[in-house]
Structure 1
């Protein structure tokens, strides 16, 4: 029998995650969206080519999954993927689409090209950052003031203490936004976060900044806009910045490996690192998603859950019966399996553990769930 985890091994309690999270992340430029999803979404050379959302499921590169497939040689493989949507534009329709997603890829133009128009006629990424940031804050302020009015009407009809708590929080959020700060950077209490997550505020969503440079700048690792972008981001929360070249990625995205190598050689490209996989994985982590695995000769599969998910709820992603009749989770760490080479070696090494209902599933856990529901047996 696997050893049971001691109470001292329990993961430390974490603050609730701000904002609603599922499996969808939003990105704001279609050349990039097309590269990631292999779709042909309109991406014409004029502003607001489309503001309608497009959705797709995207493969998330994960070397652990590939390694498990090599080890178990399963009959079936279910690779990791997540949802993505793309929209381009400003205005109410654009902003309403963002409210429905969980994270934002903010793609910044950091190249000059007379053939590609810019809505402001000049290229200035920091100005664009300020513009978008202000638009999102103004929309959140509008939403919160409407919420405040609704609460005040309800408070006249009811003495519910919860209404007063929400009213006070709304006033704090409005003051925070009007001071020029995004909601995700506020120092909110746990109780505040639980309420804030029901609002789906635009500035509560995590952001990854993608700096789209020319192929030349990307290859030589120099860009005149990048230092200013970096300084601005550090002053405004210090979130992740990933430089890349959409033109370069687009050239190589659909090429077979031999053609890609030939293209790089002909164009004297020395940096052959394609960044799209890194962008996808960073976006996946930014919205607090992780994977656990189930692995056997029958099937190796990734299961997507939100960070901080406990074992019974993780089991529920496989089947509701797993959560309803949860008994325990038998867990081994991917790193332990890779180091020791086999499941039997992990067990004999004392690293195959039996976890209960309070166990918080960690990224890369390989889990076998035991459950029992009325009319059924153990699994």
Structure 2
């Protein structure tokens, strides 16, 4: 039998290539260091507090004195046998299903209407219909259907938009007219009528009562928005351009913080803030909004940075730029629209948030949304003052959308191509 001699060089050619493990450089460790604070905060304030709540739900603690003895599923069985809970659960499910279905359908129709290419698409469909009608005689019905569909689509969508606009603007009309009426004209029967005389005293009264709380909201929103946007940008930068083994899993775990009901973590959160001395303080409320704003800001920035070509980052690395310099001179200038989107989103959510504000702060530390509820009084409700206060409280977010709305839409579309 003939033997075949194989040289050492040929032997190495048949050896399968072994994937080399990527060595972590100083920049990789720096990236992990920037990501670590957000990961620790999420695991403590999301998973840790949910675990604490779950453990308490399995205990016999039902009074002011803690009782950590194990109760099994007794509390859950009691809850599901309660008729009030069953009714609430059923109503929530029905409302959620109907609401989501209606929002998807109406949102899709309005999106079609607001699409910039709608006019061109309709004209093109009409031209196709005319061409079919003229060139093929036996396809007259089909051509007519295409033309009719094009002719009726736009009027229907405009009518739908008009109806929805009136539906949304009716409460605004009632608020404005009521805020300008004297108290003696504010009645249920005259709700739709215009004021006989313009009375600005309700705005002066509302501003005097809400001014301290308005300043509290400014002190809350500005640092909370800036800090959450900064943390989200760093997290998105690391998770999109400095990936490591398990980065996608870690990103998924961070995103879970978006979907928890905040009522489930209120008790351990309040106890924690009491222990560190931040309960009933504006810095404590800022801290809470920064922590629970990390998931959504990380998601936005990660999707935005994923659309930036990796070749640009690799070129910067070849030129000697490290983690910080790439972020400072490349990522930040390219992500101005991303920061605008995150800032608008966080500003609006934090300004309008009520649950954390009413449970973590009291009296003179409360933001304007909590003070707005207290503006109604206990005996006689001055509806003109209440409506004026509501308009004043909504004015900052309205101005933000008026001046930065186009950047918000542009920034949302910027991160929708890849990621």
Bigger Rg over Cα: 2
- TM-score, normalized by the shorter chain, greater than 0.5: no
Q: TM-score, normalised by structure 1?
A: 0.23
